[in-house]
A = this chain, B = another copy of it.
Amino acid sequence: MELKDTYKDELLNSIPIVSGMKVDIESLSEHEVCLSAPLATNSNYEGTAFGGSLNTLCILSAYLLTHHIMKSNQLSFKSLVIQNSKIDYLHPVESDFIAKASCSLKNSAHFKSMLEKKSIARIEIESQVTTKQSEKICVIFKGRFVASN
């Protein structure tokens, strides 16, 4: 089973509301995770993407990037949760969309080092939403996650 499929089964589809969003993993690396979702299952009553779905896709992309950084580096952890976030909805999202989560090499290195030395570590992840047709950034999300073991 491919790692993407494992993550999709174990992480994304184990969360009830996420399975209804029809999220897909477009790409996955230690530096960047791209998740996609169709507009049809994530629209609001104005016909554009619902803020709750946009925020949720950003959380998931950032969560999965953090999870993948730990798994790729054989760093064990018991819990990974979101501590805080902020989000700007810059433009309406009018078609199928992608959330791209990334984190700097410096942040990632610091996070890995802290988790090895201490029982708890925090990491800041940024995620940006575009549609599948355009590179225009419609949403900017910044979230802080806490891993502990």
Residue positions of A touching B, CB distance < 8 A: 10-11, 14-18, 20-21, 40-46, 48, 50-53, 55-56, 59-60, 79, 81-89, 92
Nearest opposing residue in chain B for A146, CB measure:
B89
Q: Please indicate the chain B residues that have their CB under 8 angstroms from the CB of A46 in the complex.
A: 79, 81
Please indicate the chain B residues that have their CB under 8 angstroms from the CB of A88 in the complex. 83-84
Complex CA gap A83/B51 in Å reads 9
Interface of A is mostly: mixed
Contact indicator B21/A17 (Cβ below 8 Å): yes
Q: Given A81-B46, A85-B87, are A41 and B16 neighbors across the interface (CB < 8 Å)?
A: yes
Whether the Cβ atoms of A92 and B81 lie closer than 8 Å is yes
Q: Apart from A52-B55, A82-B89, what 19 extra A-B contacts exist at CB < 8 Å?
A: A10-B45, A11-B45, A14-B44, A15-B43, A15-B44, A16-B20, A16-B42, A17-B21, A17-B50, A17-B56, A20-B20, A48-B81, A51-B81, A51-B85, A52-B56, A52-B59, A53-B56, A84-B86, A85-B87
